[in-house]
Structure formats: structure tokens, C-alpha cells
Amino acid sequence: MKAKSAFLEGVRDGIPIALGYFAVSFSLGIAAKSIGITAFQGALASFLCMASAGQYALFSLIGAAASLWEVALVTLITNARYFLMSCALSQKIDPQMKNYHRFIFGAVVTDEIFGITVARPGYLDPRYNYGAMAVTMPGWASGTALGIIMGTLLPARLVSALSVALFGMFIAVFIPPAKKDKVIMGCVAVSFAASLLFDIVPFLAKISAGTRTILLTVVISAAAAALFPAKEAEINE
């Protein structure tokens, strides 16, 4: 009975997340349609990689005909924050928990699932996470597939308009923290300026989109960390 209760609690907490995932991944599907990805391919990619920024980078690089190493490296860098979340969750894992549970946890760590999981008291209960995953993963995958299908059926102008929604999602991610932190705001401004330089400077424009993203991400984030290290009090907030 306890096992069933934990699973159902996970389903309950996962339903609002799944609804949000469906809306966001629909826009992701619109973007995927523009580079020729099928509904099955998009759904499979979303089911195996539940990461909005990571998947958008993946689809963008596929559209730009990037090399496999560029795709792998950019996806790794884009999703690097999940390493930190996994480390945090590892502190709540029962030492007796079987390894296959640990593997599944690590493979399906998202911002939202991390949030509802880390807030629960005591050790992690695998059944709770499986309940949340049972609704969030299909929500993300089906939203992507439907976005691709609707991208095929809807008028081209409407598809183009809907594809802007994904960019709005990313703006909503970095604007609130940038308003509160001048360092983040500076990083955003430098990123915009550097991206513009890579487009207009002849020898920089020859660098592929994938390599450009890798260089800017690593250099700007490393410089910010070295010049403006976070204080211990800020980290613990």
C-alpha cells in the first residue's frame, strides 16, 4: 500500500509539470519541424532527452549540419547543470538503494522533477519518482510530436509565429535572474555582443554554429566565474 501511495503522489505532483512540459515541447516540435524532423524522431528524442535547452541546441545543430562531436559537446555543456542536481540528490539516496534506480534517477533529472524530489523529507523513494516520470515523460514527448504534426498541417505563417514561442521561453528563463544580478546581466550582454561579432567579422563568421556556441559558453562562463566568484552566503540562499 505504501508503494502505491508513493507512486500516486508522484503522479499527482507530476501532472502540473506534465501540462507545462506539453506546452513548451509543442513549441519545440514546431522548431523541429522546420529542420525536417519527423514526429516519431521528435518524440523519441524528447523521451530520451528531457531537456528544453539541450534539445533546442540539438535540433539547431542538426539543422546547421554540425558534426557529431559538436552536437555531443554542446549538448553536454548545455545540460551540465544536471550534474549538480544529481550530486544534490545523491545526498538523499539510501545507501542500500539498487544501482538501476540510481541510473534511472540520473537519466531523468529535470529542473522541475529535481524541485519536487529534493523537497520531500527523508531518503528518496524510487516509486515517487517513477510516478512523476510516468506523466512528465509522455507529456514532453507527445507535445513535441504534436508540435511537429501541427507544423505540417498549419499555415506557414502561423508555424513561423508559433516558433517564436520557444525563444520567449528562453527569455523568460534568464531575464528574472538578470534583473536581480548585475553579473548575470553582464554575461547576457556580452553573449549578445559576442554572438553579433561572430556573425559580422569575416574570419569569425567562418566558424560553425556548434563550435561558436561551445567557445562562447565556455569562455564567458569561465571568465564570469573567475572574475566574479559567488560568495558562500549567495550559494546557500
| 161 and 94 within one domain | yes
Task: Name the maximum alpha-carbon separation found in the chain.
Answer: 66
3-state helix, strand, coil in the chain (%, to 5): 80, 0, 20
| 186 and 154 within one domain | no
| 235 pLDDT more than 50 | no
Confidence of residue 237 (pLDDT cuts 50, 70, 90): very low
| 195 and 156 within one domain | no
| 67 and 14 within one domain | yes
Greater confidence, 4 or 202? Answer: 202
Question: How many domains are there within the chain?
Answer: 2
**pLDDT value at position 2?**
60
| 76 and 145 within one domain | yes
For residue range 94-126, list pLDDT tens digits in order.
888 888 888 887 788 887 888 788 778 788 888
| 136 and 22 within one domain | yes
pTM (two decimals) = 0.64
Domain boundaries, position 194? 181-237
**pLDDT value at position 19?**
82
For residue range 152-170, list pLDDT tens digits in order.
776 766 666 655 655 665 6
| 107 and 32 within one domain | yes
Q: How far is CA 33 from CA 113, 151, 157, 179, 223, in A?
A: 27, 6, 14, 33, 36
